[in-house]
């Protein structure tokens, strides 16, 4: 799985996202907490919708809940350890409130169902990513004293007919899932085993969701999938195949005032058609998250990434050629099995060549059940992994500074998202290139959801600082 990590407001792996549910009058209340990638957050919105249709209200604290659901992530060991600790805390709460039910959803649910249910007895419900429709029945079973379990994977489920409840909505930005599962068997990744085979949602339901968001005043959507570029849907009425580039164009065509982002792309699948579509539509944001994982062809082969260093760099060149103002971000893993100092040096040099604006960087964490765990020995000492990771982080610091320096004096169109976290006299928003910008409020009446032109005048490592400029 790619990280889905270039998406704004996504938490890092192992960090919690506490959904600030609106309070509703209902007989029973559910509290939902999500971890991991943006796909998990989008799934939580589907779950909230399914439960709302069965009469469940929502609450903002676990103490008020009749049902606690934790949407889990298995991509890294840290995430699992954090979630396990959280479940232990909820179990203490259950002792004071015997009728309380605790359940886990998502990837960790599928992978550790027996351990969490019967050995550690931390949960009452275990529901995999393709079984959310069965939640009401499973809850009923658990209320009767049975353990509610459904982790069956599906080749068809896309939840295309479910209208998500926007849990963390600022009324401006929203996620729209377009694919589920993954067919790429990267040797380090658990996702094909926890989320199943790849399938694409039908385009009419995607565009309908986008139009509903547009009518509700949203200004930006992010199309989500483990690998959006492999989107493939056959229209039964015309027998015509819809590609990701065509879906992207159709989404952008709903309104010129709607920004469109997408994540994540697999390097082997992003096509010139996608790049030319991005160039053709001003409202398709000029940012591509293109995970490389390693700069060494030898390591890439062990990872089963299906491309070489040289092929990846040629893709970088092609993006720069067609979209010269496009930002490029990536994922990198330090210390994969058998990685040498020379392999690591190739990752650093690839970073330098690619000029990434931002990276998500990790050291290798062996996940049980993956191809790498079965085939290779995790033979790089932790101290070496951490040292190499720090060098990658330091390199990205240089690249981010270089990128920000290039932006000085440029004017960017920014979608205002809200107040700056540090100063309520300043706005924060992002450019098309997905760069965070902070700038003072004016007396011109701008508000969240407005597009403004911002002149970049200064920067920190992660943020551009500027001011709103208006036509003379």
Q: What integer is the mean pLDDT of 268-292?
A: 98
pLDDT for position 11: 35
pLDDT for position 22: 46
Angle between helical axes of 341-354 and 382-407 (0-180°, round to 10): 10
pLDDT for position 39: 87
DSSP character for 37? S
Q: pTM of this prediction?
A: 0.90
Percent of the chain with pLDDT over 90: 76
Percent of the chain with pLDDT over 70: 94
Task: Examine the pLDDT at 169 and tell me if it is beyond 80.
Answer: no
Residue 436 near residue 404 (C-beta atoms within 8 A): no
| Gap between the Cα atoms of 109 and 105, Å rounded | 5
pLDDT tens-digit series, residues 111-163: 777 777 777 788 999 999 999 999 999 999 999 988 889 988 899 999 999 99
The two three-digit tokens of residue 373, written as one number: 């765990």
CA dist list (Å): 299 to 16, 305, 369, 382:
31, 9, 19, 18
Given 2.40.50.140, 1.10.10.1100, 2.60.40.1120, 3.30.1330.10, which CATH number is that of 411-468? 2.40.50.140
User: What is the CATH topology of the domain spanning 173-403?
Assistant: pyruvate-formate lyase- activating enzyme (3.80.30)
Residue 411, judged by CB atoms within 10 A of its CB (0-12, 13-18, 19+), counts as middle
Write out the residue limits of the CATH 2.40.50.140 domain(s) in the chain: 411-468
Residue 242 near residue 201 (C-beta atoms within 8 A): no
Q: What integer is the mean pLDDT of 284-300?
A: 98
Write out the residue limits of the CATH 3.80.30.20 domain(s) in the chain: 173-403
| Gap between the Cα atoms of 409 and 126, Å rounded | 53
Q: Provide the H-helix boundaries in 53-147.
A: 77-96, 107-111, 113-114, 135-143
Question: Which is more confident, 237 or 457?
Answer: 457
Write out the residue limits of the CATH 3.40.50.12160 domain(s) in the chain: 16-150
Question: Which is more confident, 97 or 262?
Answer: 262
Average pLDDT across the chain, whole number: 91
pLDDT tens-digit series, residues 296-319: 999 999 999 999 999 999 999 999
| Gap between the Cα atoms of 359 and 372, Å rounded | 23
Residue 124 near residue 118 (C-beta atoms within 8 A): no
| Gap between the Cα atoms of 48 and 62, Å rounded | 15
Determine whether domain 16-150 maps to CATH 3.40.50.12160.
Answer: yes
Task: Examine the pLDDT at 465 and tell me if it is beyond 80.
Answer: yes
The two three-digit tokens of residue 427, written as one number: 């706005």
Residue 36, judged by CB atoms within 10 A of its CB (0-12, 13-18, 19+), counts as buried
pLDDT for position 109: 80
pLDDT band at 9 (very low <50, low <70, confident <90, very high): very low
pLDDT for position 345: 98
Closest CA to 245 of 275, 222, 279, 281: 275
pLDDT for position 19: 53
pLDDT for position 77: 77
| Gap between the Cα atoms of 48 and 154, Å rounded | 20
């Amino acid at each position: 799985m790619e990280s889905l990590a270039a998406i704004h407001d996504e938490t890092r792996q192992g960090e919690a996202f506490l959904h600030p549910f609106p309070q509703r009058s209902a007989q029973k209340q559910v509290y939902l907490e999500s971890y991991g990638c943006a796909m998990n957050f989008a799934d939580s919105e589907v779950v909230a919708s399914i439960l709302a249709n069965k009469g469940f209200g929502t609450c903002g604290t676990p103490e008020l809940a009749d049902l606690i659901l934790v949407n889990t992530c298995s991509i890294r060991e840290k995430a699992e350890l954090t979630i396990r600790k959280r479940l232990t805390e909820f179990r203490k709460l259950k002792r004071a409130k015997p009728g309380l039910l605790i359940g886990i959803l998502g990837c960790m649910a599928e992978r550790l169902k027996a351990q969490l249910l019967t050995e550690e007895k931390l949960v009452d419900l275990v529901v995999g990513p393709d079984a959310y429709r069965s939640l009401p029945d499973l809850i009923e079973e658990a209320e009767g004293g049975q353990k509610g379990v459904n982790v069956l994977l599906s080749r068809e489920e896309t939840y295309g007919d479910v209208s998500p409840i926007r849990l963390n909505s600022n009324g401006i930005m929203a996620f729209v899932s377009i694919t589920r599962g993954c067919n790429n068997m990267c040797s380090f990744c658990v996702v094909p085993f926890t989320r199943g085979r790849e399938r694409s949602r039908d385009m009419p339901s995607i565009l309908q969701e986008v139009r509903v968001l547009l009518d509700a005043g949203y200004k930006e959507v992010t199309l989500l999938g483990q690998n959006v570029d492999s989107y493939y849907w056959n229209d039964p009425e015309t027998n015509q195949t819809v590609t990701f580039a065509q879906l992207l164009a159709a989404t952008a065509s709903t309104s010129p005032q709607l920004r469109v982002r997408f994540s994540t792309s697999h390097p082997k699948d992003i096509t010139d058609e996608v790049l030319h579509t991005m160039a053709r539509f001003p409202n398709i944001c000029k940012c591509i998250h293109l995970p490389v994982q390693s700069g060494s062809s030898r390591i890439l082969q062990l990872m089963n990434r299906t491309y070489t260093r040289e092929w990846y760099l040629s893709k970088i060149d092609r993006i720069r050629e067609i979209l010269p103002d496009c930002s490029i971000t990536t994922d990198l893993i330090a210390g994969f099995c058998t990685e040498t100092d020379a392999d690591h040096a190739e990752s650093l040099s690839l970073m330098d060549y690619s000029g990434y604006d931002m990276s998500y960087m990790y050291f290798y964490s062996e996940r049980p059940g993956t191809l790498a765990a079965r085939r290779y020995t995790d033979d790089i000492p932790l101290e070496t992994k951490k040292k190499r990771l720090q060098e990658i982080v330091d390199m990205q610091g240089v690249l981010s500074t270089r990128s920000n320096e290039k932006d000085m004096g440029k004017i960017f169109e920014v979608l205002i998202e809200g107040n700056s976290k540090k100063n309520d006299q300043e706005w924060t928003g992002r450019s098309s290139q997905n760069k965070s910008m902070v700038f003072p409020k004016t007396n011109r009446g701008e508000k969240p959801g407005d597009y403004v032109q911002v002149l970049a005048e200064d920067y920190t490592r992660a943020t551009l600082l500027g001011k709103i400029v208006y036509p003379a």
